[in-house]
Amino acid sequence: MYNNRFKPNRRGPQRGFLRGNLASRGGASSRGVRRIKTFDPSQVINNLPQNVTSVTQEEYVPTHAFADFNIDERLKANILKHGYKTPTPVQDKAIPAILEGRDLIGIANTGTGKTAAFLIPLVNKMLADRNFRVLIMAPTRELASQIKDELFVFADGLGIYAALLIGGASMGRQIDSLRRNPNFVIGTPGRVTDLIKNRYLDLSRFSAVVLDEADHMVDIGFIHDIKYMISLLPTKRLSLFFSATIDEAVRGILQSFVHNPVTVSVKTGDTAANVEQKTIRVGDPAKKIEQLHQLLIQKEFEKVLIFGRTKHGVQRLSDDLVKRGFRSDAIHGNKNQSQRIKTLASFKQNNIQILIATDVASRGLDIPNVSHVINYDLPESYEAYIHRIGRTGRADKKGIALTFVG
């Protein structure tokens, strides 16, 4: 059983975390074959919960305050209104470089404030030159939508317009939004490529390009789309590249994307220092949901993100929890984009207590104040595990990640 203050019984140390039948599994993406690495237990903590890996680092002292940056006063006012006071390390290091017009490679864990690190200087450049246009690419619809939402916070009242180009939404409306000549175009590689090939989007007119979560875009099969888009960009441009990891495939993209870049690295380790990681032994699989139920009724489980493996399993678990009286909902590939956005908004606004998701939600999403992440089904890879648990313990707050193991 789960060994902490909520469940007093102890069953002894667990075996190596997620050890066993986790060989690579294939899975088709909309643009190619999804690349899943074999799960390597040696990369993860063994004998949880006794030996928990944590990253210890000295408290970062920023060299700037937001008031110090050489940016438009209207933008500064929006930043303060958003509640930003002290820059995170990636913001402190990246914003001055981007303001200077330098290409940038940002290597950082999720939850480090990357989105604001590139949006703030880009909005400032837009205010100085209304012909300045920005293309931002993200691997998932949810992350692209989130970037647009954060852009609107910083651009509030500044007359800046953005188009969101993602699958699962009306292409006709997106074509109409492009005809309005938006300052920012934010999208996923598949839909953006479709609109380019149908001649609704001309990349030669863009002044700056951002590739966010580039490693994930490569992992899910978008590498050819990315290379195709880079080939259409103007030679003279501002190029910003953000990734949690840099492997051989990602390095191949970098060679043609950035020129004489500044590299900002605030990656301190694979697992967040603020996330306490524990395991839950599943004795009888038929009683697994009862174990989950007993956890969720504890008052400490205020805002819980649960990960499952399949679309049907995620929906079934959500339906079961609703029948048990929990405020729960699910997001997965069988729901359309508007349904997924509505559910995410309900979770962010605390209208529901529990969000159950497939790994579509494990990358990049910034959901405030998630108290617990629960791996109800085992992740397919070490990378998936890291990005799942990264949904809690964000913004210097503590979080707990629990993993059900047989």
109 Cβ partners below 8 Å, 6+ apart?
Answer: 244, 266, 267, 268, 269, 272, 390
- 239 forms bridges with which residues in the sheet? 209
Closest CA to 135 of 223, 228, 220, 205: 205
CA geometry: angle 63, 215, 357, nearest 5 deg: 100
Q: Compute CA distances 280 → 10, 73, 316, 324, 346, whole Å.
A: 10, 51, 21, 21, 28
Q: What is the pLDDT of residue 112?
A: 80
392 close to 307: Cβ distance less than 8 angstroms: no
Residue 164: in which H helix or E strand, if any? strand 162-165
Round to whole Å and give the CA distance between 242 and 283. Answer: 42
Beta strands of 244-398 (E only): which ranges?
262-265, 275-281, 304-307, 328-331, 354-357, 372-375
List of the chain residues with pLDDT < 50: 1-58
325 Cβ partners below 8 Å, 6+ apart?
Answer: none
Round to whole Å and give the CA distance between 271 and 61. Answer: 21
Closest CA to 375 of 305, 297, 291: 305
121 close to 278: Cβ distance less than 8 angstroms: no
Buried b (16+ CB within 10 A) or exposed e, 372-386: bbbbbbbbbbbbbbb
Q: What is the pLDDT of residue 136?
A: 98
Provide the whole-model pTM: 0.66
φ, ψ for residue 405, nearest 5 deg: -130, 145
Closest CA to 160 of 139, 131, 118, 138: 131
Closest CA to 314 of 372, 380, 360: 360
26 SS3 class: coil
- In tens, the pLDDT along 349-399 reads 999 999 999 886 555 567 889 999 999 999 887 777 877 888 888 766 789
Q: What is the pLDDT of residue 32?
A: 35
Domains of the chain: 41-56+270-405 (3.40.50.300), 66-265 (3.40.50.300)
Tokens 């667990």 correspond to what residue?
14
- In tens, the pLDDT along 231-276 reads 999 999 999 999 887 878 888 888 889 999 999 987 655 556 688 8
Q: How many CA atoms lie within 13 A of 377 on its CB side?
A: 17
Residue 106: in which H helix or E strand, if any? strand 104-107
